[in-house]
Amino acid sequence: MLAVGVTGGIGSGKTLVCRVFEQLGVPVYYADERAKSLYVRDAELQKEVKDLLGESSYLPTGEFNREWVKAQVFSDQGLRAKLNELVHPRVFKDFEVWCGEMLAAGHAYVIKEAAILFESGADATVDLVIGVVADRSVRMKRVMQRDGLSEKDVEDRMQSQWTQEQWMDRCAYLIYNNGDRSIIEQVQETHKSLLLRSV
């Protein structure tokens, strides 16, 4: 069974692309969503996060205080790196277990969606990568509209990720999402190719 990564910068349309793959029956592992779940389910991780960032990293209800944590680590690269060192190995392990379940279910290939696939080293957990590409100006406009952020806020978030140019040549496939090419057609073509590769 092939494990395929899907990545792209903020506002590129990774989730949209993954939803189309899901419509074709391909299971998708959303790394960010699984990490959110692990922050709550993994008691040892909870303790380590509190040791690193303090009790405020969790709400009184036990929920992960995501926005507060994001604010703490966003402007502090060292702190962000330490938090990533805690959570990324657990996400890798969780993905490994999930892949075993999908293999047992008879899937030809699976997808792992991750915004920082290369930055986190998660590209080592997949066989090949699909990059979702869109012009910076298009991505900027999308994120400002979607999240109600200022141009500077979006710029800051973009700065925390690799540029498209840094990872494009590492991808086996590229899907273009500037709005001038059909995402569905591009995904269908990629899907056919991946089915052949997974034989």
Distances (CA, A) of 70 to 75, 116, 157: 9, 15, 11
Confidence grade of residue 138 (pLDDT, cut at 50, 70, 90): very high
Cβ neighbors of 128 (< 8 A, separation 6 or more) are 2, 4, 5, 171, 172, 173, 197
| In the predicted structure, residue 19 carries a pLDDT above the cut 90 | yes
Give residue 76's pLDDT.
Answer: 86
Confidence grade of residue 174 (pLDDT, cut at 50, 70, 90): very high
Give residue 40's pLDDT.
Answer: 94
Compute φ and ψ for 97, nearest 5 degrees.
Answer: -65, -45
| In the predicted structure, residue 121 carries a pLDDT above the cut 80 | yes
| Residues 123-127, mean pLDDT to the nearest whole number | 96
Alpha-carbon radius of gyration of the chain: 17
Give residue 43's pLDDT.
Answer: 94
Give residue 153's pLDDT.
Answer: 84
| Residues 134-159, mean pLDDT to the nearest whole number | 89
- Angstrom distance (rounded) from CA 49 to CA 55: 9
Question: Considering the chain, what is the average pLDDT of its residues?
Answer: 94
pTM tops 0.85: yes
State the residue range of the domain holding 104.
2-197
| In the predicted structure, residue 7 carries a pLDDT above the cut 80 | yes
- Angstrom distance (rounded) from CA 173 to CA 8: 12
Q: What is the pLDDT of residues 71-98, one digit of tens each?
A: 888 778 899 999 999 999 999 999 999 9
Give residue 160's pLDDT.
Answer: 79
Q: How many domains does the chain have?
A: 1
Neighbours of 127 (CB within 10 A): 15
CATH of the domain at 66: 3.40.50.300
| In the predicted structure, residue 161 carries a pLDDT above the cut 90 | no
Q: What is the pLDDT of residues 40-66, one digit of tens each?
A: 999 999 999 999 999 999 999 999 999
Give residue 36's pLDDT.
Answer: 92
